[in-house]
Homo-oligomer: A and B are copies of this chain.
């Protein structure tokens, strides 16, 4: 029998760390892990923290889109529209849109909607899909959730039956996947993205992972593809996506397409293409390939993370499986209605000729243009540092440079019981207040070290942050390479 730890505050608790669901205990989620906790502690002690650990644009100064907030404010308190002075302060298309939603949302924002989301808003999303892909969307394929994380969790819940069901996940990956797969008692089957090849996704590597999993008795059932990539920022080419679809058909893999960064594409030569469009374009060749694609209001120029507005769209999913998804969502009754409305606004924004269009255009282009400049600035800056290399940030909100960490630092970290990139990120935080996430939280090839930083700090602060980062990096190298301080 195990002895009782004298430091355990509640050794006899019914819910004890040793007696709760061990899948939860084993799950890891570094985005809010050791570094985040250290940053919060630092902030509480009154020191400055520059949060670049989470893609949370408004928290670091990105402004909401005016039209969206105006409509939402009127819907929140519709009595404002009875006051002529207040009414006159809003553009007419704002008032019109608010009235439209009020007429289409039974019971208003305070009422549960259909568990899949309000039907009118799902129509707006379906129309958006039709315009985006050239193939008609359908309300019956759409399920709205409190954030894309919830949608992903529900789809994994349906897919995973136990340890021998595998989900192919990229390395590096956004750790929501590994954590949720662990919590659902499934197995993550990692496939490496090729850093030397601009974080490319090769079919050979997928085959390797699938074969290795099967050899262990694990059946891969689905593949997670994050496009544009998180933390890697790469955008898949259409040809690559077609190969992937062919492979998924051949190997019977459901595609989980995490397309939440679809508006965050920065290189003028690139254009986001959805897996939905690729599959439908391929016709017979891709027939019946099952797709679950995720989108959100949290990213893009909208950045409304706090709304938790998102959806999953099904393609080629068995009707009875959609019924099961509907049922399981019904136990939660409804996603939050403000999040649903924000999604409706995002996919159906002001159009040319609308009074709010010029400002909407200015705001969204301003945000996306600035993000594109920041994406370029940050990867260039990393590439100028000794021992640091970064692929271009083609999309999403992150830069994921590789950092050569001196052996002395690796040893120092090992002595403290953590990975070398954790040491690097902790010292960076300590020295500069910049809060990043170490690469070990996302996964990386053995012997390589990375960190993830968002590209979100305000553009005017960028030069300062880059300088502060660069100074720290040089100092870190000197410290652990044993050179004298200059």
State whether the Cβ of A264 lies closer than 8 Å to any Cβ in chain B: no
Q: In the complex, what residue of chain B is closest to A15 when comparing beta carbons?
A: B321
Q: Which residues, 18 to 33 on A, are CB-close (under 8 Å) to B?
A: 19-22, 24-25, 27, 29, 31-32
State whether the Cβ of A267 lies closer than 8 Å to any Cβ in chain B: no
State whether the Cβ of A131 lies closer than 8 Å to any Cβ in chain B: no
A332-B149 in contact given A16-B321, A111-B56, A112-B306 (Cβ < 8 Å): yes
**Contact mask A156-183 → B, CB, 8 Å, 1/0?**
0111110000000000000110011001
Q: Choose among B64, B80, B149, B324 the residue that contacts A333 (Cβ–Cβ < 8 A).
A: B149
* Tally of contact residues, A, Cβ under 8 A: 95
A14-B254 in contact given A56-B112, A109-B307, A336-B336 (Cβ < 8 Å): yes
Q: Which residues, 98 to 127 on A, are CB-close (under 8 Å) to B?
A: 106-113, 115
State whether the Cβ of A45 lies closer than 8 Å to any Cβ in chain B: no
Q: Choose among B16, B72, B290 the residue that contacts A13 (Cβ–Cβ < 8 A).
A: B290
Q: In the complex, what residue of chain B is closest to A298 when comparing beta carbons?
A: B112
Is B69 a contact partner of A327 (Cβ separation < 8 A)?
no
Is A20 a contact partner of B321 (Cβ separation < 8 A)?
yes
Give the distance to chain B from A141, nearest Cβ to Cβ, in Å: 14
A107-B288 in contact given A158-B15, A336-B339 (Cβ < 8 Å): no
Q: Which residues, 21 to 62 on A, are CB-close (under 8 Å) to B?
A: 21-22, 24-25, 27, 29, 31-32, 54, 56-60
Is B338 a contact partner of A336 (Cβ separation < 8 A)?
yes
Is B180 a contact partner of A331 (Cβ separation < 8 A)?
yes
Is B317 a contact partner of A336 (Cβ separation < 8 A)?
no
Is A69 a contact partner of B59 (Cβ separation < 8 A)?
no
Is B335 a contact partner of A308 (Cβ separation < 8 A)?
yes
State whether the Cβ of A334 lies closer than 8 Å to any Cβ in chain B: yes
Q: Which residues of B contact A466 (CB under 8 A)?
A: none
State whether the Cβ of A421 lies closer than 8 Å to any Cβ in chain B: no
A321-B146 in contact given A305-B110, A336-B306 (Cβ < 8 Å): no
A112-B59 in contact given A20-B321, A336-B338 (Cβ < 8 Å): yes
Other than the known A69-B77, A85-B89, A108-B306, what 16 A-B pairs have Cβ atoms closer than 8 Å? A13-B318, A15-B221, A15-B254, A20-B158, A20-B161, A24-B327, A59-B107, A73-B80, A83-B89, A86-B86, A111-B306, A146-B336, A175-B331, A183-B328, A305-B334, A336-B336
| Chain A residues within CB distance 8 Å of chain B | 9-10, 12-17, 19-22, 24-25, 27, 29, 31-32, 54, 56-60, 64, 66, 69-70, 72-74, 76-77, 79-80, 83, 85-86, 89, 106-113, 115, 146-147, 149-150, 153, 157-161, 175-176, 179-180, 183, 221-222, 252-254, 288, 290, 303-308, 316-321, 324, 327-328, 330-339
